[in-house]
Each structure stands twice: as C-alpha cells, then as structure tokens.
Chain A
Amino acid sequence: MDQIIRLWHNSGLYQMEPGQAVMIAIGMLLLYLAINKNFEPLLLVPIGFGGVLANIPGAGLAEHGGILHLFYTVGIESGAFPLIIFMGVGAMTDFGPLLSNPRTLFLGAAAQFGIFVTLMGAVALSAFGVFDFSLADAAAIGIIGGADGPTSIYVASKLAPDLLGAIAVASYSYMALVPLIQPPIMRALTTESERKIKMVQQRHVSHREKIVFPLLLLLLVAFLLPDAAPLLGMFCFGNLMKECAVVDRLRNTTHNSLINTVTIFLGLAVGSKLSADKFLDLTTLGILLLGMIAFSIGTASGVIMAKVMNKISTNKINPLIGSAGVSAVPMAARVSNKLGLETDPHNFLLMHAMGPNVAGVIGSAIAAGIMINYIAG
C-alpha cells in the first residue's frame, strides 16, 4: 500500500500545479501554430516542445541539473547560440542588393525607431507604476521591434534573463506574423501612385565588392562600437565565408548543419524559460503588447523614411520597400514584393526590398550594441 501511495505522490497528476497545466497547454498551442499553421515551425516546434518538457511536474528538466537547464547555461547564458546563428545567417545573406543601392541602409536605420519608441513606452509604463521594468528590461523588450530573433535573444540574455522566455516567444511569433501585421500599416501610409513607383534596375555588383564589404563593415564596427562586434563580427565572418568562395565546405556547414543543430538546442533552451512562475504573469502580456507596438512602429517609420527620401532625391524609391527595414529576412521583403504586385502586376520589388532587409539586420545589431553599451557598460 505504501508503495502505491508513493507512486501516486510521485506521479505528474498529483504534483501538477495549475500554472504548469496552463504552460503545457501554451506549449501545445505553440506546437499547433507551428505544425498546423506553419508559423516559424523551425523555431516554434523546439520552443513549444521545450516549454512542455520544462513544465512536466517533478521531472525538473528546466531546473538546476536538468538537461534543458544545461542547454540554457551552455548556449544562451554564455551568448553562444545566438552568435552561431548569426554566423549562419551571415553565410546566407547576399549583400548584392544593398551594395547596388547603399541608400537603402537609411531605411534599415529608420525601422529601428520602433525599438527605441517601445523602450520609451516600457519605461513610461513603469514610471506610471503599471509594470515594474528596469531600463535594462525596457531595452530588451524594445529590441523585439528589430524583428530579429537571435538579436533579441542575445540582448535579453545580457540585459534581462528573467524575461527571456517571453521576449523570445514574442519576437519569433511576430516574425511569423509579418505577413499579417505589416500590410495594413503599409497600405495606410502609402497612396496608390506611390505603391506603383517603379525602381531603376539594380546595377551589377562585382564579386570584389561583395568580398570587401563584410570586412569594411567589420572595421567600422571595430572602430566605432565594439559592443556590437560579437553580433556583427560573426555575421561578417559568415558572409565572408560565403563571398570569398574558397571555403565552400565551411560555408556549407555554417549555413546548413551548424545552424540547424544550434537551432534545435536554442529552441529547447528558450522553451526551458517558459516555466509557469516566470511566464504566467501580466508582465508577459505587457511584453507581447509592447513587442507588437515596437514592430508596427518600425514598419511605419521605414515606410515614412522612404517617403522622406523621395522628397529629397530624384531617384525614386517605392515606399513599400521601407517596411522591409525591420529585419525579418526574407519574410518582410516578400511582403513588400507582394503588395507591389498587388497594385501593379509588373512591379517586382523583391530584390529592391532585400537591400533594406539586410540593412535592418545590421541596424538592429547596432541598436543592440548601443543598448548593451549604455546599460551594461
């Protein structure tokens, strides 16, 4: 009899707390969204499953000594996983469209406005006593507006590890929701004739330029903002491997097997942060809301920047590509392209939108570096 009672006391049903049950349901919901709705499945499947694992009562997978906790300590606390992912992203990025039209970098800069406005929003909310965010928390929340998963995770792990779960889930879900969130904003801010603007054919970018660019970027970062060097350094390294074309084997590993391996562990480790006591409170809701605002403002300011540039310059830019300045490569660029085709079936904006798109990656990494510099340094 004693044994049966002990077994019962050790069972999940006996130990389950309501919060854990809710978190398991949320994990299942993420899995449903990933599998059935195809929302960033590469990340939401590991994150959702990690969330379920982390909340199994009594198993302690996410507690000290548990395997998920181990993944977290090794990969995220140290900052390694997001950086390795960034290297892989670099190895996939083509700077050609950006190099043929460097002005699109301004669009990538403007779209970072959302990050800082949201930071202000979070600070204001805690000043009015709604939430209790520190400046570091606010910065980590704002970076969701950069729409760049690895950057958000990197910044959150440095500045606000407690909020990491919510921030990672928010930034990856909004990346998946790009095709839903952006179009209404873009339509509202542009006129029909602006959406019809045809951009001049991009010039051919020579191989040498593409090889020199990552080195140039690296030097600029090294001179001006060493705090962004981990992110952009890995990014440039990945990109140089791609463009120099003499280390194809390394490049293939970086942008295939390595990034996939790391994604698995990164997802599980982020899932481990979805424990009931950390995730289930109003703060998470606040983060989701602020993240959404960050994202929308980023989109809007990118579009507005494009319109401002059109006022100044004679070489017209279709404002639709401004929204691609939030990173979310390549989803945001595809959205620009789709909206362009909607108004004019012969206007292909995809390659033009890739310029601001990769500029956004650089921009949000710079913004991340500044925040880390300002708060930690």
Chain B
Amino acid sequence: MESSSLMSEGISLMLFGMGFVFVFLTLLVIVTSLMSKIIIKYEKSAGVLPEDGVPSPSTFIPHHETNAPLQAEADDKTLISVLTAAVHKYRSRHK
C-alpha cells in the first residue's frame, strides 16, 4: 500500500519536474532572444560597450616598461589584418 503511494509520488514528481524544467528553459529561451534583439537594436544607435569593459580600478602597478606589450598588440593587429586579407582573397578565388 505504502509502496504504491511512493511510486505515484515518484511519477508525479518526475512529470512535474521535467515539465517545469522545460517550461522554465523555454521561457528563458524566449526572454533571452527578446533581450538580444532589443539590445542589438539599441546598440545600432548607441554603439557597443568597449570589449574589455570600463577600465577597472586596480592597485596593481606594472613595473616593467609598457612598451613591449603595446608593441605585441600592434603586431597582433597587423597579423590579424594580414590574415583577414588572405582569407578574403582565398574565398573570392574559390567561389
């Protein structure tokens, strides 16, 4: 007697639980897509936030000369633009 009520409790928890997980995540999908649409639309007029965020307050003061990392960053940028150009060329040839 008791075992069958345990079974039915189990079944109802399973159905209820699985159902709720799906309902919740479906809602999350809808709300998230909506949020993305609104923000993308907004950012078309307002512009995006800087990728690395607002400069954060920090007590850390680098000791080394800041020249080297800047140089590396500049190198990276050139490298990226060269790579992009190459990919474009490759794609336009292999249509």
* A212 engages B39 (CB within 8 Å): yes
The proximity string for A residues 359-377 relative to B, scoring 1 for CB distances below 8 Å and 0 otherwise, is 1001100110011001100
Contacts of B21 in A (CB 8 A): 109, 112, 363, 366-367, 370
Per-position 1/0 for B1-36, Cβ under 8 A of A: 001101101110110111011101111110111011
When distances are taken between beta carbons in the complex, the residues of chain A under 8 Å from B51 are: 207
B45 to chain A, nearest CB (A): 13
A224 touches which one: B17, B27, B50 (CB < 8 A)?
A: B27
Interface contact A220-B31, CB-CB below 8 Å = yes
Question: Please, which residues of chain A bring their CB within 8 A of the CB of B13?
Answer: 116, 119, 135, 139, 371, 374-375
CB proximity of B7 to chain A, nearest CB, Å:
5
Whether B53 is near chain A, meaning CB under 8 Å from some CB there, is yes
A212 and B22 CA atoms in complex are apart in Å by 22
Partner of A206, one of B28, B33, B39, B53: B39
Q: Interface segment, A56-64, A122-130, A275-283?
A: A122-130
Task: Let me know if A103 and B29 touch, CB within 8 A.
Answer: yes
Given A105-B29, A123-B6, A213-B32, do A220 and B17 touch, yes or no (CB 8 Å)?
A: no
B65 interfacial contact with A, CB 8 Å: no
Q: Digit string of A126-162 for contact with B (CB within 8 Å is 1, else 0)?
A: 1111000011001100000000000000000000000
- B22:A216 contact, CB within 8 angstroms: no
Within 8 A of B (CB), among A101-117: 102-103, 105-106, 108-109, 112-113, 115-117
Q: How many residue pairs between the two chains, A and B, have CB atoms under 8 Å in the bound complex?
A: 132
Given contacts A123-B10, A206-B43, A206-B48, contact A113 B18 (CB under 8 A): yes
Most buried by B among A99, A124, A207, A225: A207
Chain A 171-230 residues near chain B, CB threshold 8 A: 205-209, 212-213, 216-217, 220, 224-225
Are B4 and A208 in contact, with the CB atoms below 8 A?
Answer: no
Contact A138 B10 (CB under 8 A): yes
Contact A99 B32 (CB under 8 A): yes
Do A109 and B22 have beta carbons less than 8 Å apart? yes
Sorted nearest first, the 3 A-B pairs with minimum C-beta distance are A245-B53, A123-B10, A127-B3
Could you list 28 examples of A-B contacts with CB < 8 Å? A102-B29, A102-B33, A105-B29, A106-B26, A108-B25, A112-B21, A113-B18, A116-B13, A116-B14, A117-B14, A124-B10, A135-B10, A135-B13, A139-B13, A205-B36, A206-B39, A207-B51, A208-B39, A208-B42, A209-B35, A213-B32, A225-B24, A246-B57, A362-B25, A362-B28, A366-B25, A370-B20, A375-B13
Query: 6 more A-B contacts (CB under 8 A) besides A108-B25, A220-B27, A370-B21?
Result: A124-B10, A135-B6, A206-B48, A208-B39, A246-B54, A375-B13
